Amino acid sequence: MAGLFVAAATISIRSASITTDRILLPIEVLGSDGTTVSRTVTLHAEESESVRSLWLQIHGVRYADQASVQVNAGAWIPLSNNTVTIAEPAKSFGGIGGFATLVMTLSLPNGTVANGDNTIRFRFNQTDGVASGYRVLAWNFLTVDGRKIIPPEDFAKDAPETWTPPLPDAASILAGHELWQSAPLVASSLPKSPRIQAHCADCHAQDGRDLKYFNFSNGSIVARSRFHGLSTLQGQQIASYIRSLPLPNPGRPWNPPYQPGPGLDEQPVSSWAAGAGLDWVLSRDIDALPFLLRQHGARSTAAANSSGNVSGPRELLGQISPDTFRPDGNLNPREIPIELQLPDWSHWLPRVHPKDAWGPAFTQSEFAALYAGKRKIGAGAPLRTLLENAKTTDNNIRPVVTSFTHWSQSRRNFLRRPVNARTVWSPSLTNNVYSTQLWQLVKTWEMMQEFGLEGRGPDLYGLTADSRTWCNTIPSETAPAEVFIPDGVAGVGGSALTNEYFSAAWYELQIVLNSGNHQHQDRSPVDWKYLIGRFLDLYGQTHQPEPTRLLVAVTKALQSTDPHLGPDNLQKGWRPDENIDPRIMISPVWEPIFKPLPIEVHQALTASLLAAWMDKNRQYSVAQYLPIGLLPRAYTAPSAYGNISGGRVWEAAQRFRDAGVRDELIESLLQWGAAFTDRAERLQYH
């Protein structure tokens, strides 16, 4: 059911009695195979002669040759990684087939652009059984030095607040609602596509709020309805129903949900899911460093951030301090932009519903019943029933956290049948398993929105909780790595790179939505060592180091426990030997990740992280770390993480000294280690 959902046009604006045509954006190229949309622009001779290439920002091009472009009478040029130049960082993340929105440049032969009218055509070549088109968010002609020819004022953005139902009568809206809930559908627009059991409401939010929230246009809804075998009239009825929903709609289809960026917390919580927008997807990870150090820039710096013209990291040396990494702090990852473009809403939607993937095994499962069953399951009610009751009783929603945990466990139990040690992975099996994870993610978003849970952190977790949070770890559980989907042709997206990208994206979303709310217990709710270790797996595919995003994750790992609980609380308290430690800054294995940082900046960050870690350690006596009668821990970190976790950090004192850490801090580390070792030997700890 995943896919792309106003036909673009030019509009006239009168100013001083002069009519000027402006090009309406986005240009949506949606519909059946071969759908073509054109735009015409007039250039003067000196402008046309200087054009050397076409610049495009496109959303929804998933595979090579999905889209083609023609300028005037020139040849149709298919868009692929071989025919266009993809801008970084998207290029390193796979180009076409990676990020949902790409900036690309297409070279044009001399003489392609003429003096006078020039027509550019965009064509949707053919579906792969998932896509039903794409959107051109912005375009322009470029000179040899990269200057854009068409001025910004010649373009206008379509305004969703002006949209109305195609069929505004009550009967059409009611019919649209009924179709949303129960219309029979086919899997795709491919010939002989089979009927499916799922309805629109099954793969989307049950009331359709996602299409309203993210502003899928009337035209896109009609196109997608036809993709699934409905008529144009039925698509218009569904679009009319969606338009009529009295719900907030701050998002856009191309803006990744929850994409972090400055100012998000200043918006109402109802706007959080809309994210900070593509403007805050950075072109370089290092440009996020000022935001990590709490130097939040004004909104007007977005363009500078994207182009890499922000202040250099060396200028931030005076602002690097242990306070940034303080384990008793509460770093806000929602406000720190990243270069990783999170998945758009279409990539949230499952390609196949679990009941079409698994049949009665799903429909009769506890996993299905715990979402919206008709009866009590075990000791608790289905989630939707529980949330409905919470609106009318004493409004105690604490049990919701446990219920989501139970639902996650039921998914793991359900997937144990198709996913086990003997599983032979194939693209089909990957699609079924990954779609099942996505279905749970979408339904979680549905309930978080419908029942207003995102702004109730203290009600869910207590006073230490973030004001904005999810109450589960379902985002991270959506990662392909969570179910051992392998890298390679059987991986999500058909390659190791895309498989690792989606794992990284869902793990990042977990950090943004719920990093644990200082409720860490053993390896839950977030297994920080595993999550952080995956940064190396992603880097191995992209060769794109992300030191700032990594440092945010490390800081949230250090801040995962309740600051009021010490190491004598074996399950929930501060246990530095079972967390990420400062050796990650000096580990040869992790050195490539920090390579973009100037040496002196790396030194200052290393010293600050070590100082913050030591300040926390010294809050407690050695006896609290090693009490008499302490039972051995059941979990040992994998050897691959031994250089960033597991204790005995003082043995790396010389490497910290070589990294420029001051002697006083090194001496403090050694003294603490000596006291720790002495007590461990006396009590015969192993």
What pLDDT, on the 0 to 100 scale, is given for residue 308? 42
**Sequence-distant contacts of 676-680: CB under 8 A, at least 24 apart:** 676/622, 676/625, 676/626, 676/650, 679/622, 679/623, 679/626, 680/626
> Number of structural domains, the chain?
2
Examine residue 498 and state whether it is found in any structural domain, yes or no: no
Q: How far apart are CA 45 and CA 388, in angstroms?
A: 66
Q: Which of 244, 260, 291 is the last residue in one of the domains?
A: 244
Instruction: Return the CA Rg of the chain.
Output: 27
Examine residue 464 and state whether it is found in any structural domain, yes or no: no
Q: Which of 244, 260, 294 is the last residue in one of the domains?
A: 244
Collapse the DSSP code of 133 into the 3-class scheme (helix H, G, I; strand E, B; otherwise coil) and give the result.
Answer: strand
Examine residue 23 and state whether it is found in any structural domain, yes or no: yes
Angle, alpha carbons 429-434-435 (nearest 5°) = 100
Give 418's pLDDT tier (boundaries 50, 70, 90). Answer: very high
Integer CA distances (angstroms), 545 to 103, 294, 340, 455, in order: 20, 21, 11, 33
Three-class SS string for 21-88?
A: EEEEECEEEECCCCCEEEEEEEECHHHHHHEEEEEEEEECCCCCCCEEEEECCCCCEECCCCCCEECC
Examine residue 361 and state whether it is found in any structural domain, yes or no: no
What pLDDT, on the 0 to 100 scale, is given for residue 50? 95
Q: How far apart are CA 372 and CA 377, in angstroms?
A: 11
One domain for residues 166 and 153? no
One domain for residues 58 and 169? no
| H or E element in which residue 120 lies | strand 116-124
More confident position, 587 or 683: 587
One domain for residues 146 and 217? no
Q: How far apart are CA 40 and CA 340, in angstroms?
A: 34
Quick check: 501 pLDDT over 80? yes
Alpha helices in 270-373 (DSSP H): 289-292, 302-307, 345-348, 354-358, 360-363, 366-372
One domain for residues 118 and 210? no
| CB contact at 8 A, 188 and 227 | yes
Give 301's pLDDT tier (boundaries 50, 70, 90). Answer: very low
Give 132's pLDDT tier (boundaries 50, 70, 90). Answer: very high
Examine residue 599 and state whether it is found in any structural domain, yes or no: no
One domain for residues 171 and 112? no
State the distance between the two ends of the chain, measured CA to CA, in whole angstroms. Answer: 54
The pLDDT tens digits of the residues spanning 81-90 come to 999 999 999 9
- Host domain of residue 55: 10-158
> With b meaning 16 or more CB within 10 Å and e meaning fewer, what string describes 480-490?
bbbbebebeeb
Q: Which of 132, 158, 184 is the last residue in one of the domains?
A: 158
Q: How far apart are CA 426 and CA 49, in angstroms?
A: 51
One domain for residues 199 and 217? yes
Examine residue 448 and state whether it is found in any structural domain, yes or no: no
CATH of the domain at 73: 2.60.120.1200
One domain for residues 141 and 229? no
Burial of 268 (0-12, 13-18, 19+ CB in 10 A): exposed
One domain for residues 33 and 106? yes
Quick check: 18 pLDDT over 50? no
**Which residue type does 133 have?**
G
| CB contact at 8 A, 4 and 83 | no
The pLDDT tens digits of the residues spanning 507-545 come to 999 999 999 999 988 778 899 999 999 999 999 999 999
Q: How far apart are CA 242 and CA 237, in angstroms?
A: 9
Beta bridge partner(s), residue 195? 186
Quick check: 114 pLDDT over 60? yes
One domain for residues 63 and 107? yes
What pLDDT, on the 0 to 100 scale, is given for residue 316? 87
One domain for residues 33 and 171? no
Mean pLDDT value across residues 378-400: 81
Examine residue 474 and state whether it is found in any structural domain, yes or no: no
One domain for residues 54 and 89? yes
> Across the chain, which distance is largest between two alpha carbons, in Å?
92
Give 633's pLDDT tier (boundaries 50, 70, 90). Answer: low
Q: How far apart are CA 183 and CA 188, in angstroms?
A: 14
One domain for residues 19 and 90? yes
Q: How far apart are CA 455 and CA 624, in angstroms?
A: 36
**Residue 96 phi, psi dihedral angles, 5° rounding:** -65, 125
Examine residue 227 and state whether it is found in any structural domain, yes or no: yes
Give the full edge-to-edge strand order of the sheet including 116-124: 36-43, 116-124, 67-71, 77-78
